[in-house]
Chain A
Amino acid sequence: MKDAVQSLRRRWQELYSRSSIQMILSLSFTAVAVLGLVGLGLTLFLRFSSSNNTQQAENSQRVLTQVNWNLDAYLRRIMRVSDTAYYSVIKNTDVEDKSLSPALDLLYENNRDSLVSIAVFSQEGGLVADAPLQKLKNSVSPRWEDWFTQATNKIENLHFSTPHVQNLWEDPDQRYRWVVSLSRYVELSRGGSMEGGVLLVDMSFSGIEQICKDVDLAGSGYLYLIDGSGEIIYHPRQQLIYAGLQEENNLAAAGYSDGSHKETFQGSRRQVTVKTVGYTGWKLVGVVPMESLWDNYGQLVLFVLFVLLFSVFLLVFVNLRLSEWITAPVKKLDRAVKDLEARRKDIDFDVGGPYEVEHLSHSLRSMASTMDHLMEDIIQQEEQKRRSELDVLQSQINPHFLYNTLDSVVWMTENGRTQDAVVMLTSLARFFRISLSRGSNVISIGDELEHARHYLTIQKMRYKNKFSAAITAEEGVEGLYTIKLIVQPVLENAIYHGMAYADGDGEVAVRAFREGDDVIIQVTDNGPGMPEEVVERLLDPGGPTALAGAKGSGIGFRNVHQRLRLTFGPAYGLTILSEPDDGTTVRIRLPALDEEAARRYRKEETP
């Protein structure tokens, strides 16, 4: 469970982080609005539904009250007939002297629309009088009939029976009538003495049916009538129930109190309204299937549903547009920031929008401007730093060489080798002229090789021609450009470490040639060479500044190497190929700069 919650939370966070502000705003607004709408709609609908149910229940109550009133009036009329027969006819007549039949007949004729028969029986069940005049069936014994026993058992009451087929009278047409019997105990006067008897009034079943049948309840609602025990007195589908083809929840309804109830019968929900019919204890039961209630306002439900859907749709649309309008400046700002990240120029931070976004855009614009200035400052500072480093490296060369050469000139002059001293000084002068190059750090490869040549002249004199030197250049290479003083330090190392101990057979060769877009100036000597670890240390910026046991600082290699890399990038610099006893080859790789390219480098030098 916990894992599932965490997984859900993680997914939600992923979705959240992947979604745009507009999407989040749209979905949030829509969800809240739809929930609100649905809640409101549901509340209204339930309220309406409840109100409608109440109204239908009240309507059923009204109908039942009306039917009850009619039924009560009908039953009271029958009871009045019974009262009249008893108090006006039976009590005033001695059955031995006078027949009751004419008076009963008159009473019957006045109420024949409601009555089937009126009859008076003695306590033994003998027929005393009846109307209309009929013959009692031989097979019938009235005293064992329910209506008779009820009347004699509770003599103070009037008794209404459930519907039954009246089987008392012979009928040549063999008609069997369903009736509801009203029976009561009566006192008969016979020859001056009183004896008990039973007055039976059979009312027409159709009379009750007329009252109950055309009742207008909602939809397919209907009404039925039961007695106190739940026995059906009237039901619109009474014969189907009698035939076992349909069932009714009449026994349960007998237990309902007056009012509206809900029940589920045979899987169908129904609203049942019950009303007790006064004296009889009968109950009128109005049944309205819940489906009927829905049918009545199905169109309304449809309309509400449509309005709801339409509102939801409008909300979605408005939310989409609104969120788009709100998030447009933010999106624009986002694009501007992306441009800023991509180092584009002329970024438009003027995104408009509400105050917060406007403020944010101003801040970003200010920040971008500040960043630009800072970047420019940093670049300038870096350039100055690079130039300073170059100057420092440059300055490391000249005093070193000047010291050595002047030392040689002093030495020659002291030994009377004036001519040699002149040659050396001449070469030195030319050497320095090229070194200065009117302050420019970029010179032609031809000048650089010339510079190397003068240097070699000086050194050869110093080392008394212990070695020979040759400088060659591929055609066209001399016209290309390089930073100055890159060959001389290499030569210096070749001489100090390769030629110092040569015995006239030392050789130093300088060769300049093209290799693709690059120029290679290769300095080769046939000196003793170096072991691999020494070679590795030579170009290591963090390595020791002097070679153990060797003359010279070894700073020249690193100096040239760093200058080339600082100027042209890490792809350029020195490569040393050396094996012990097998000489050394130093390859200086630099880009092939024409006049135009060289001008750009000169420009960078300008502070």
Chain B
Amino acid sequence: MKRKILLQLVVPLLSLCMLFLLLAVQPDPASRSVEPVELSVILRETDTAALNAARQGMEQAAADLNAELRLLTLTTAGSGEEQRALLEREVSGGAGGVVLVPADRETLADSVRQAAGQVPVVTMETDMGESGAKAWVGADNAALGTALGKAALNGVRPGETVLLLDSLSGDNAVRERLEAAAAVLKTEGRTVEVCTPGERPLSDALKTALSELRPSLVMAFEAGALETAASVLETVEQPAPLLYGAGASTAIAAGLEQGRITAIAAQNEFAAGYLAVEAAVRLARHQTWETEDPLEFSILRRENMYEPDSQKLLFPVIR
């Protein structure tokens, strides 16, 4: 009888109490917050001015996903070697993930492969998936170059020269865009010249090229080079060649509005920054991340830059 009562009363009672305790001590969502992920963002520029919108996107993603960002700029813009050193230092320093805007695939391939074995590496603009990078965020570079080339056809007559700025020597997004644009322009009978600055500053190389080649149109393929080109073209004697380029920043918007830049191919830099950080954080937390389709881009001119959608693209809502 006692055994029966024990089975009927005590055991279930104890089980219920256990259940209650288990349920009661379940941590609330606030205390279940995950540890922050330390992310290193290795840029390609010497400052973040040209990447202002992308940086805002990164910071927004970091705030949403509880990540800590460390933005690392280079002492020499577009230096693959410096990026490699930074990448190795950050990974060995315990970074939870790396967002990289690669300057040169060849220079960085081994380091990225090595780093990707330890932490998730996400690249922007230049896809390094073959080297082990887990994700890539950016527009379709070839399509963007082609679109820019087609847009430039109206600004330069057949036989005239188009100067393409190979601002980042090496295998990267700029090279892909440049090659695609060059192909379109050549096909349509334009003379294509490429300005490769090498060790010299881009502005100097551009000035030399302008005086030597007298191009009708200059085309830059990244925001920094476009801003530099806009500044250089402002100083040359009129009529200055038309300027086309890729990238979106307030300086570029101002150049577009003032007519210093004729047209740009712009992607949503805020979205690019946000998605890059989101991918890195989720991969660092061993969550799934499927590389999304390439970001969309638009060809913007002064005439359409204040259309509602263009405003949203060019001018992030600054808070």
Contacts and interface: CB of A to CB of B under 8 A. Distances in A.
On whether the two chains bind one another, the answer is yes
Interface of A: 137, 139, 163-165, 167, 174-176, 178, 205-206, 209, 238-240, 242-245, 295, 299, 302, 305-306, 309-310, 313, 316-317, 320-321
B20 A209 contact: no
A310 B16 contact: yes
B251 A178 contact: no
Interface stretch (B103-111, B145-153, B164-172, B307-315): B307-315
Contact of A239 (B19, B60, B254, B257): B60
A239 B16 contact: no
Contacts of B79: none
B80 interface: no
A335 B251 CA distance: 102
Given A165-B306, A176-B250, A240 B315 contact: no
B306 A167 contact: yes
A165 B268 CA distance: 16
Given A295-B29, A313-B16, A245 B274 contact: yes
Nearest to A234: B317
A309 B13 CA distance: 10
B308 A164 contact: yes
B319 interface: yes
A561 to B, nearest CB: 61
A139 B274 contact: no
Contacts of A242: 270, 312, 316-317
A502 B314 CA distance: 150
Given A174-B251, A302-B23, A306-B16, 20 more contacts: A139-B302, A165-B311, A174-B253, A176-B315, A178-B315, A178-B317, A178-B318, A205-B317, A238-B317, A239-B270, A242-B316, A243-B271, A245-B275, A305-B23, A306-B20, A309-B16, A313-B16, A316-B12, A317-B12, A320-B8
A240 B60 contact: yes
Contacts of A176: 250, 253, 314-315
Contacts of A178: 315, 317-318
B238 interface: no
Contact of A309 (B19, B56, B315, B318): B19
A149 B13 CA distance: 76
B57 interface: yes
Contacts of A243: 57, 268, 270-271, 274, 312
A240 B316 CA distance: 9
A299 B28 CA distance: 9
A234 B56 CA distance: 18
A175 B258 CA distance: 14
Interface of B: 8-9, 12-13, 16, 19-20, 23-24, 29, 56-57, 60, 250-251, 253-254, 257-259, 268, 270-271, 274-275, 296, 302, 306, 308, 311-312, 314-319
A577 B317 CA distance: 128
Nearest to A302: B23
B12 A313 contact: yes
B9 A317 contact: yes
A533 B2 CA distance: 74
Nearest to A137: B257
B90 to A, nearest CB: 26
12 contacts: A164-B311, A165-B315, A174-B251, A174-B254, A175-B250, A206-B319, A239-B56, A243-B271, A245-B274, A245-B275, A313-B13, A313-B16
A245 B29 contact: no
A32 B34 CA distance: 46
A175 B315 CA distance: 10
Contacts of B302: 139
Q: Which interface residue of B24, B29, B312 has the most chain A CB atoms within 10 A?
A: B312
B310 to A, nearest CB: 9
Nearest to A174: B254
Contacts of B317: 163, 178, 205, 238-239, 242
A317 B5 CA distance: 9
B309 to A, nearest CB: 9
Contacts of B24: 299, 302
Nearest to A301: B23
Contacts of A175: 250
A242 B57 CA distance: 12
B9 A167 contact: no
Contacts of B251: 174
Nearest to B302: A139
A164 B314 CA distance: 12
Given A164-B311, A206-B319, A317 B8 contact: yes
Contacts of A310: 16
A24 B251 CA distance: 85
A139 B261 CA distance: 14
Contact of A139 (B13, B253, B257, B319): B257
A139 B8 contact: no
Given A165-B306, A174-B251, A239-B60, A209 B268 contact: no
B275 to A, nearest CB: 7
A310 B319 CA distance: 53
B319 to A, nearest CB: 7
A240 B296 CA distance: 15
A245 B272 CA distance: 10
A150 to B, nearest CB: 15
A164 B20 CA distance: 55
A476 to B, nearest CB: 62
Contacts of A305: 23
Contacts of B60: 239-240
Nearest to A313: B12
A175 B306 CA distance: 14
Given A174-B251, A239-B316, A302-B24, A245 B8 contact: no
A163 B306 CA distance: 12
Nearest to B13: A313
A167 B23 CA distance: 58
A209 B296 CA distance: 29
B308 A174 contact: no
A137 B302 CA distance: 13
Contacts of B319: 206, 209
A139 B306 CA distance: 12
Contacts of B19: 306, 309
Nearest to A163: B317
A305 B12 CA distance: 15
Contacts of A240: 60, 274
A28 B154 CA distance: 88
